[in-house]
Structure 1
Amino acid sequence: MNILVNYSGDYLQLLTPELENKLQAIHLGIHTKSAEGADYLGWAEWPGSISPAFLQDIKETAERIRSTSDVLVVIGIGGSYLGSKAVIEALSTPFQNSNDLEVIFAGHLVSGEYLKQLMAYLDNKEVTLNIISKSGTTTEPAIAFRFLQQYMEKRYGNQAASRILVTTDEEKGALRTLAIEKGYRRYVIPGNIGGRYSVFTAVGLLPIAAAGHDIEKLINGAREAEKEFGVFDTNSNPAIQYAVIRNYLYDAGYPVEIMATFDEKLIYVQEWLKQLFGESEGKDGKGIFPTSVLYSTDLHSLGQYIQDGKRMLFESFLMVEKPAGDLTVFEAENDGDELNYLSGLTLHEFNLACHEATKTAHLAGGVPQISLTFEQLDEQHLGHLLYFYMMACAYSAYLLDINPFDQPGVEDYKSNIFKILNKPGYILL
């Protein structure tokens, strides 16, 4: 399973001896767990360490959820929901099958209207909750859980405990204490894996399996990527290539990356990427700002700015080589829409042509281009792709001399809101 990285410039010219030495040091730091932030490098070798028994346990729990529930409500924010949301959206059809378990997310925003409407929607359905939080005190999911836990206890009484699952820290935290007290089934967030790198842990795997997707294939794809990207080769390792190109463009005066796709099923992969790169790199006055577009939709809105606006952007296309389904343009008897010249062309082929046309136009407009291509959108290839991005992100942050695994800016916001809301122990100065 190859990820092809194509760059509008000459990649080999970027590889100076000094850069090669720095990349090799980063590689050793990641794989010997000696790099900055090493306490959170557990994700790098996690796929290969997963046991068959662990996957079987997740699958059995998921099957119990599917057999007893119409809806799984996943409560979490940031890395506690974006990974599973990205995979589920990428692998599901846009139109819900009434026989499928529905996975709904809560706790990623604070909205009384949303929660009221959600609980009203759940009234005629059988429900399971999965609350995901290392501490249990992150404000947004904690608020949602307070309301939804009460809803479950009022509705199911003593049976509520069997319908609430907790994914939290193994050793400490308010949510762990509550789960023990209430008798909730617990899954562990590994202490050496941060939220935005946790999609291959129970954080992501349980909702993904409950949605009916094959987590063994997902993990197999990640294991293949772990093995492939564990080899240091600046000419053939796509994670290194992508990181090098991104950082060269950043140094050349392009601090904004537009992640573009032609497949609407990848929208939440882009959302996951924005958190992954934004939280990992945006520190110390440094970092590439990640944003995203869906083509060709956004060619008719943001496309004008990308083509002719301020020259601070570079563009990264994420392309799927083989679509799961397609249509071919047919010849109409009356060519009133003037589309008969497209007869025999598939819609995937149209998007490939649109990709080439967009690249050519934007490059001429001063927007450097990267294209990332993977074969097809299924569990195995998606697992490979997500691991690729995590490894590329680590390299990219380390090239900027940034710790990829903390988020001090997020902690500042949390501290301020606690002061504003008069949380005990916090003083507003």
Structure 2
Amino acid sequence: MIQLLQTGILNESLIQIEWGEYTESVAAIHRYLEETNTEMTGWLNSPIENNVEMVKSIQRIANEIKMLADVLVVIGVGGSFLGAKAIQDALTPYFGDCANGIEVVYVGQNMSGAYIRQLLGSLEHKEIYVNVISKSGTTMEPALAFRVFRKYMEKRYGDEAHNRIIVTTDAEKGLLKKIAENSGYRQFVIPANIGGRYSVLTPVGLLPIAVAGVDIEKLLEGAKKAATLLKNENLEQNEAYRYAVIRHALYKKGYQVELLASFEPSLTKLHEWWRQLFGESEGKEKRGLFPATVSYSTDLHAIGQFIQDGNPIIFETLLHFKEILDDYQVPYDDRNDDQLNYLSNRSFNEINAISKQGTAMAHADGGVPIIQLELECLDAYHLGYLLYFFMKACAMSAYLLQVNPFDQPGVEGYKNKMLQLLQEENVYK
């Protein structure tokens, strides 16, 4: 499903892996992941288990929202919004809404007063539903946004507001769970054994994705295929583990930054989801690669010079889809005063693919190791596969570093400091 080309046409001397050194450790980590009932690994088998009733319930509520609303407002931060936004952006039109969906907007991922005010203004003449997503309900950004939108919905819709607010939260505990129960909001469950950055294939991601018009059954079908194929502990036959090993080998050689790159701007949020996944999973105990992202060809005109000739701390992972479902031909022009007729009747996607090939060759010539991940088509099925591929690779990568892939103590540090400062300010008022 994913063709991993760590050398391909590129300079083979840049990535040399002693695969035999990793065989036993990869197999041991695989068995630990698959056979041990570790605390936060519910995502491993959820695509295979395929909760049909959950999917039907999501589709039913999504259809209701699409019938009765113009906009779904999703409140969440981090893993509670990045996965859904990534799939929505990748699979819906750049301009306008998907034919099978409605507008989906996001709030609670920042604390900008300007963002909140302008979003509220944009909703004035539109019918809306709200989906608030938080396992605890105490994360500051979404909690503040929900306070605003809860009041807004009650003022605008009165007693009907509780039917237009959907809560995605823990099954049993937490502040948001208590609010939902007391207010009579309909609820979807965030599984207790799945952390936020691994939750895109749960109701956390699936409800907004379905409302946006994406086929969530196809998305889950692709993830199921990946979950099945990537159960193999054999390093030669598991592309997710091979990707993890290449990353680890380059880290041991002194590379500090992995640059995820693609040539399709609709994948920008997918890059951000990947960045959070690997950044929060690996960045502990003064270890881990720094995950950075670029969107080509735009960023070739921004940091291409540094990549080519700058400090050699970077390796690139190029993400490529062989088929993009929409395209445009370069027109012929009799004047040819721009001297571009030699490209007439070639498609933009064809030229973009050649740009990708040339970029990879140039960066390899400049001494940058290149990993290439190639999928057949940019569609729901293959994105479902890719999401699971990255999650499985990430878990392996973190364990190769001997860190826990499923906690984020550094994030808790910032939250605690912020709350302390806010409480001190309140005392002095």
TM-score range, shorter chain: over 0.9
User: Which position in structure 2 is the counterpart of 1:318?
Assistant: 319
Q: Percent identity?
A: 48
Alpha-carbon displacement from aligned partner over 1:68-120 (angstroms, at most 9, x marks no partner): 10010000000000010001111100011497411000000001111111112
Pairs within 5 Å for 1:356-375: 356-375=357-376
Task: Normalising by structure 2, report the TM-score.
Answer: 0.95
User: Once superposed, what is the RMSD of the aligned Cα atoms?
Assistant: 1.9
User: Could you say if the C-alpha distance between residues 427 and 310 of structure 1 is closer, same or farther in structure 2, counting changes exceeding 3 Å?
Assistant: farther
User: Which position in structure 1 is the counterpart of 2:257?
Assistant: 256
Letter in 2 for 1:122: L
Aligned mates of 1:195, 1:203 — CA distance in 2: 8
- 1:114 has 2:115 as partner: yes
User: Which position in structure 2 is the counterpart of 1:285?
Assistant: 286
User: Which position in structure 2 is the counterpart of 1:67?
Assistant: 67
Alpha-carbon displacement from aligned partner over 1:268-307 (angstroms, at most 9, x marks no partner): 1001000000000000000010111111111111101111
Alpha-carbon displacement from aligned partner over 1:133-153 (angstroms, at most 9, x marks no partner): 011110000000111100000
Aligned mates of 1:40, 1:184 — CA distance in 2: 27
SS at match of 1:187: strand
User: Which position in structure 2 is the counterpart of 1:27?
Assistant: 30
Pairwise CA distance, 1:250: 0.8
Task: Normalising by structure 1, report the TM-score.
Answer: 0.95
- 1:297 has 2:286 as partner: no
User: Which position in structure 2 is the counterpart of 1:55?
Assistant: 55
Alpha-carbon displacement from aligned partner over 1:174-230 (angstroms, at most 9, x marks no partner): 100000000000110000000000001000011111111111111111101000001
Aligned mates of 2:2, 2:421 — CA distance in 1: 47
Pairs within 5 Å for 1:259-408: 259-408=260-409
Aligned mates of 1:357, 1:297 — CA distance in 2: 15
Contact 1:168 1:187 in 2 (8 A): yes
User: Which position in structure 2 is the counterpart of 1:189?
Assistant: 190
Aligned mates of 1:74, 1:39 — CA distance in 2: 28
Structure 2 portions without partners, runs of 5+: none
Pairwise CA distance, 1:14: 1.9
User: Could you say if the C-alpha distance between residues 231 and 423 of structure 1 is closer, same or farther in structure 2, counting changes exceeding 3 Å?
Assistant: farther
Contact 2:89 2:267 in 1 (8 A): yes
Aligned mates of 1:317, 1:138 — CA distance in 2: 34
Aligned mates of 1:98, 1:48 — CA distance in 2: 28
Letter in 2 for 1:112: G
- 1:160 has 2:196 as partner: no
Aligned mates of 2:403, 2:427 — CA distance in 1: 31
Letter in 1 for 2:60: E
SS at match of 1:371: strand
- 1:3 has 2:2 as partner: yes
Contact 1:280 1:404 in 2 (8 A): yes
Aligned mates of 2:212, 2:19 — CA distance in 1: 47
Pairwise CA distance, 1:11: 10
Contact 1:33 1:41 in 2 (8 A): no
**Range moving further from structure 2, 258-267 or 232-241:** 232-241
Contact 2:3 2:375 in 1 (8 A): yes
SS at match of 1:172: coil
Contact 2:6 2:15 in 1 (8 A): no
Letter in 2 for 1:30: L
Contact 1:11 1:245 in 2 (8 A): no
Aligned mates of 2:15, 2:114 — CA distance in 1: 54
Aligned mates of 1:239, 1:309 — CA distance in 2: 29
Pairwise CA distance, 1:15: 3.7
Contact 1:259 1:315 in 2 (8 A): yes
Pairs within 5 Å for 1:78-93: 78-93=78-93
User: Which position in structure 1 is the counterpart of 2:77?
Assistant: 77
Pairwise CA distance, 1:377: 1.1
Aligned mates of 1:355, 1:364 — CA distance in 2: 14
User: Could you say if the C-alpha distance between residues 11 and 190 of structure 1 is closer, same or farther in structure 2, counting changes exceeding 3 Å?
Assistant: farther
**Range moving further from structure 2, 234-243 or 170-179:** 234-243
Contact 2:171 2:192 in 1 (8 A): yes
Letter in 2 for 1:85: K
Contact 1:419 1:427 in 2 (8 A): no
Pairwise CA distance, 1:352: 1.7
Contact 2:162 2:183 in 1 (8 A): yes
User: Could you say if the C-alpha distance between residues 97 and 81 of structure 1 is closer, same or farther in structure 2, counting changes exceeding 3 Å?
Assistant: closer
User: Could you say if the C-alpha distance between residues 124 and 333 of structure 1 is closer, same or farther in structure 2, counting changes exceeding 3 Å?
Assistant: same
Alpha-carbon displacement from aligned partner over 1:135-174 (angstroms, at most 9, x marks no partner): 1110000000111100000011111000001000111001
Aligned mates of 1:264, 1:359 — CA distance in 2: 18
Letter in 2 for 1:333: D
- 1:18 has 2:21 as partner: yes
User: Could you say if the C-alpha distance between residues 317 and 98 of structure 1 is closer, same or farther in structure 2, counting changes exceeding 3 Å?
Assistant: closer
SS at match of 2:96: coil
Aligned mates of 2:427, 2:280 — CA distance in 1: 26
Structure 1 portions without partners, runs of 5+: none
Contact 1:47 1:223 in 2 (8 A): yes
Pairwise CA distance, 1:17: 3.3
User: Could you say if the C-alpha distance between residues 377 and 184 of structure 1 is closer, same or farther in structure 2, counting changes exceeding 3 Å?
Assistant: same
Pairwise CA distance, 1:416: 0.6
Pairwise CA distance, 1:381: 0.9
Pairwise CA distance, 1:12: 9.8
Aligned mates of 2:329, 2:237 — CA distance in 1: 35
